[in-house]
Structure 1
Amino acid sequence: MLKLCLPRGVNIGPNDLREATAKVLDGQDCHRFFHYDKNGKPINEKPASRFVGGKGFVGFISERNEDDIKDLMYPVLQAIQTPKLFSMLNGLMPKIQVLQFEKKAFITQEPKVYSVSRCIDKKEHRKTLGEEGRLAVLFKSMLIQAVKEGVLPTLPEEQELQLQFASVRDLGFETQFQNKNKKWMHMMHGQFIANIDLQGVWQMGGMTSRGHGLIFKQNKKGIFQSCL
C-alpha cells in the first residue's frame, strides 16, 4: 500500500487522487491502475488495485505485487503537486509511507463493531430488500469472494456470523463513467456488528477501484479506523 498521511484538517478523497494520477499518466496503464480496458470500458471483475482513503489518509493498494506500488509512486508524487491537489493540501506535503499487510479474517466469539463508507449498490432490483438488506447482501458477497481467494477458509453460517446493522443511510448519487454514460447509484453509509475480525484492507459493494465501500473497525477507544 502507498499511503499518504494528510496534514491535519486536509481532506482529499480517493477519487481526487485517482483522477489527478490518471491525468499525469495520460492514458497509460489504464487497465493496470484504473480498472478500464484499452477501449475505455470498465473491467467486469474485482479490481486488484484500488485507490482508497479515510480520515487523515489517502492512498493506493495493490493485491498483485509490489511493482504496482513502485511504478505508481512517481505519478502519485506528481499528482499531489498538480494545482487542484496542491491547493487542497494548502501547499503542505503529506508524509508518504509504503506498507505491507496481509488480508485476514477470523470468526470470533464476541462481536466487532464496523462502519462502511460510501458503499455502492448498482443493482436496482435489490431495492425491495431495503438499505439493511442491500448491505447484508454486499457484505456476504465480500465474504464469498474472500473464501474464493483463500483469505477465509469457509463461509460462516448466519447464526455464527450474527450480522446486525445499527444504522444505515442511503445517499444516492449520479455518476458519469469514462464512456460518458451516466447511471444512478445507491450509495450507503452504515454501522454494523458481526462475529468476525477483519484485518487488512476490506471493501464491499461496487466501484471499489474509486475507494468506495471501505470498511473501518472500531478500536477500544470507540474510534473507527482502517482494519490495518
Structure 2
Amino acid sequence: MLIDVSYYLTLAVASLVCYIFGALPFAHRLSRRKGIDIFKTGTGLAGASNVLKTVGKGSAVLVLVFDLAKGALAVIVSGMMGIEGIVILIPASFAVLGHWNSVFTRFKGGDGMAIGGGVAIALFGYFAILALVVTALVSIFAQRLPFSSLTGIVFGYIFLALSTSILAKNELGTLAMSFGIVIGLIFIHAVLGHSKRNRKGEHFEESETTRI
C-alpha cells in the first residue's frame, strides 16, 4: 500500500497553521492595553470569562469573538487545504492546543472553551449554534453548582451529538460523535487546570471553569 506523503505533509502544515491560529493571544494583548496582565489576575486564564471579570465587558466581547473565530478559521483553512472528514479534527485539536499553550505567551493560555465553540460552529453550523445556546442556558441555571460552565458544555455536546445523529446525514452525526474527543480533552484540561491552580494557591478569584 502506497503512502500519500503529500497528504500527510499537508496535514502537518495544516496542524501547524492551526496551532498558530489558536496561539494568537487576543485576551493577553487586549488586557495589556488596559494595563492588566491577564495571567496575574482573576483566574489567571486568558479567556473571555476572566477578561470580563478583570478588564471589562467590551474587551470580553472582543476576546470571545476572536476566540470563536480562531476555532472556525482552523476548520475553514484546513478544509481549503483538502483536509476533510474526521481527520479535520486533528488540525482543529492543534488550534485548541495552541490556545492552551501559546508560543507567544511562554506557553500559557486559557481553557479553550470558546475556541472549541468556534470549531463546532464551522463543522456543524446551526446545530452547533443551538448547542451553544443550550450550553449557555445550562451554565446560567447551574451557577450554584461546581463547574457550572463544564456542566453546560456536557449538556451542549449531548444536544449536538443527538441532534446531528437524528436530523443530519450519517457523516455529520459520525463527525459529531468523534468531536466528543475534542470536547473531552477540553473538559479534562479545564478540570486538571482548576485542581492544579488550587494546589499551587494561584486561585485569585473563583475559577472561570466553575462559573460564567
Report the TM-score when normalising by structure 1: 0.28
Q: TM-score, normalised by structure 2?
A: 0.30
Larger strand share, 1 or 2: 1
Greater helix fraction, Structure 1 or Structure 2: 2
